[in-house]
Structure formats: structure tokens, C-alpha cells
Amino acid sequence: MNNIRYDQPRLVEMQNFLTYIYTITVQNKETPMTHDIVYNELCRYGLSSDELGEKRQMKEFYELFPKWEHHNLDSGDYEKTLRVEHHENMKQFLQFFTVDTYDKFHRDNKFIKLYIPLGAKNLYQNVTNLFDFMTNSNIKHASKVSGRMRCDNVIVRLDSKDIASVKKIINYIYSNKSIKDSLKKTNPFVPCISGIGIMEEPGISYNGRLSELINDYVYKCIGEKKKPDIQDFYSWAMKTSNNKELIEILSCAIDNNTQTVKDDTIVTEKDKTMEVNPVTEKEKLFRDAICATYRKYGMTQVVKGIQAILYLEDYRRITNGDEKYRDRITGYISKEDVQSFLRKELHSNDISLNKKAIELYCYRLFNKEMLETIRKVCLITLEKSDANQVKSAIRHAILEQNYRWFSRHSLDENDQTDYRSIIASFSSKSLLDLMSLSLGMPIVDGKVNDLDNLINLFVNKYIHSSKIDNVNISRRAI
């Protein structure tokens, strides 16, 4: 089966793409790099030279257009609900759309876009089966299929509120062996769920605008005589681009964090290699213990504490506190238990539990369990003032351990939570760790090179564009 679940390797793929564009730009100085060339490379991402053969593409795929049109006409009631059309103003694509949604999708910008990268093998039957399934499932959509081989050759657009259909389509793809086996890679800058690209349509060509950013960044690196770096690119894009929607989707791709449609609703072949178990009483206690240690001492202490348990069965680096965590886990949670917890979270039964693996486990755990807490506290402050107040509050907390700049209570009279006390439970070091990890910015000797830049990036990414929700805090990009 194709390796189509992505995690840290997606960042590596992004880095490799930037390096590739940089290299061919430097090596071909007589032919200037343009955003159109970058866009073309994004569309070709992950495809073999055979799949990209122009003559074969033109012959094979465009000849499928009338076959799909005839299939739809021969399907009886389908023609009443699904239209398949080839328009002069969109010659490279064949459009598939449900009759009663065509005008809506072309009038409104708010919809979810799925990028389904199907290979050339069995393309006709795979596309036919996919759209037949969507018609039989009464899924409203406006979609298109490319006449040329691209890593986004099938694009499905759904109503922005129709999350149920997203889940149905992705689950169907993985239940159909032919479709599942033909999946290629999306370009790495597109947020993914199980190898299917997904984003809320921002009313712009995301890949088109992204190509412009990458092209400008590469020339910036050449001018400054430095090599491209994905985290530097992201920080630069955050400061340079005034397109909020573009940056939110790019952030989502870098995080690979799709918040509206959860990955755990989709079962793939790879998931089945791991036991799907709820969090046990032991695992919850262990998480609580290391989270308490993190709040008090920061990431370094937690990593050393887990290493001490795994290598020496020494629990002394775990904080005790009012809950007596150290006393409770000593002799109750074994090093074998801790190994199991880490491997379960990292989705691998044979991963080497070295320092990097422990840090990745901590990042996932703290990102899930603490980032939302910090964002909520910051949003309560934002609710009463502005982003500058939030930035000042974070700065005072990190530099002085002074938390008085955060609002204590929400404007909601029914909410009596003391939010200032919640943020005060995080040490300045743990706040700095968490913010740096969430943005991929390095910490050297407990410091960052530019604290103000770190705070600005964090607030712009996680706080300023967020809205308060009683259940969770969501972002536009899904």
C-alpha cells in the first residue's frame, strides 16, 4: 500500500521542495524562475516521468471525457441530479456537479475543497465509481477532473457545513481497493487527512498564491546568500503576506492539524496495525504527571524525566505536587507501560524511543492538552481588549512570571473560571517551550533569538484570528 499518512515527513517534503526550486533556480540563471514554473512543479509533485508524458496524457485522459458524459446519460435518473459537462472556458477539466448546487457553488466562496490524487491506472473506473457513490449517497457537490495528470487531478467541492459528506467520501475511498491503491501524493503544502488534501476554499487559488510566495522567497534566499529553510519560509510568509486565508491554510499544512474533520474518524489500513484502545487509567495518570511536570519545569525536565524512567526506572524527575504524582506512579507504572504509552501515541510498535521520539511524544501530548488551554486564556484577554494586550501579557509572563496582564474572568457572567490562575500554573519556561514548539522555532540555552517575533507569530497564528467557542476553539482552515 502507498505510504499516505503524513507526519513529520511532510515537513521534510516541504523542505525538499523548497531546496529543489532553489537549486534549479541557481543552476539555470539564464532561465529565470517564475511563479508559473513553481505552480507547475506543485501540480507535478510526486508523479513519475511516465505519468507526466504529455502525449500519452492528452490521448488517454481527454478521451475519457465523452465516456464519462455518456455514462452519466446512460444512468437514467443520474442525469436529473448529476450533470457532466465540458465547457469551452475550462477546457482542461470535465465538470461534475449536482444540478441544484451548480449556481450556489459558483456564486459562493464558502465550501470545502477535497484534492483526490488518483493515479492513471484504472482512472476511468475509479472516477466513475467515486461519482456514482456520491450520487447514490445524495452528496451535493461541484467537482472537476483534469484532462492532464496532476497530483490534484480530481477536485471535489462540498458545502462548508457538510462535514458528514467529507467523512463519507474519505471512508469510501479507503473501502474501495482500486481507488485506495491508486492514490498518489498531494503536494506537501496542502493540508491532508489520510492522503486526501482538504481545505476551506478561500476564494483564491491557494496553489497559485503559494507559488508566488515560494518564488519570492527563493529569490530572497539567493539575494541573501542563504539556503531555504521551511520554518524560515513560514515565518517570512507570516510577516510578508497580507492574505489571511492563505497563511491559515499554510499554517494548517505545516501543523497537519485539521480540526473540523478529525483524523480518528477515518480508519485506514495503517491504522489497523495499531490497537485502537481508549486511554487507560494508568495512561491518564502518567499524562497528568508529566503535564504537571511540564507546567512547573518545562520540556527539558519532562524529556529527562521520561528518559530516566525508561533507562534507569528512576521517577525522581517527575514532580510530586499536591496530587502526589511521583508517589502514585512509582511502582505502579513500569518502564514497559511507559514504552507502550509512547508507541501508542506515535503510532508505531517498533520505533526507537530515543530523545527525538520522546520530544515528539511530548509535543503531541502538550500540543493537544495545553495549547488549547493557553489559547483560551489569551482569547479571554482578547475578548476584553486587543491583540497588543495579549502580546504584552505573554511577554510579561515569560520575562517576569507576571501574569496580571491576563484577564481574570470572561465577559460571560455564567463563567466563573479564574483564567489568570490557569495561565499562572504554567512556568515562564513551559510557556516559552510550548509556543516555540507550536511554531517550530528553536530554543538555544533556554532562549529564542527574537522573543517579540515569536510572540507576534504565535498571537497572529493562534489567537488574533480565532473565535471563542463554548466547546472548542477552531480555525478557518480545516
Residue spans per domain, the chain: 8-46+206-255, 54-184, 274-369, 371-463
CB hemisphere CA count around 53 (13 angstroms): 7
Predicted local confidence at residue 472, as pLDDT: 32
Mean pLDDT for 47-70 is 61
CA-CA distance, 359 to 364, in Å (whole number)?
A: 9
**Which position has the grid cell 527525538?**
356
Predicted local confidence at residue 360, as pLDDT: 74
Under DSSP, is residue 38 helix (H, G, I), strand (E, B) or coil? Answer: helix
CA-CA distance, 303 to 309, in Å (whole number)?
A: 10
pLDDT, tens only, 76-95:
555 556 667 766 666 677 77
Which helix (H) or strand (E) covers residue 123, if one does?
A: helix 123-136
Q: Is the pTM value of this prediction over 0.85?
A: no
Under DSSP, is residue 47 helix (H, G, I), strand (E, B) or coil? Answer: coil
Which helix (H) or strand (E) covers residue 7, if one does?
A: none
The pLDDT confidence band at residue 448, using thresholds 50, 70 and 90, is low
Helix and strand numbers (H, E) in the chain are: 22, 7
Q: 10 Å Cβ neighbour count for 342? A: 22
24-33, 280-289, 331-340: least confident range: 24-33
DSSP 88: G
∠ Cα 49 170 156 (to 5°) = 70
List the one residue out of 478, 449, 473 whose CA is nearest residue 231. Answer: 449
End-to-end CA distance of the chain, in Å? 26
Determine whether 411 is exposed, middle or buried from the number of CB atoms within 10 Å of its CB (0-12, 13-18, 19+).
Answer: exposed
Predicted local confidence at residue 58, as pLDDT: 47
Q: Which residues pair with 154 in a beta bridge?
A: 116, 145
2-16, 100-114, 133-147, 267-281: least confident range: 267-281
pLDDT, tens only, 455-464:
988 888 777 6
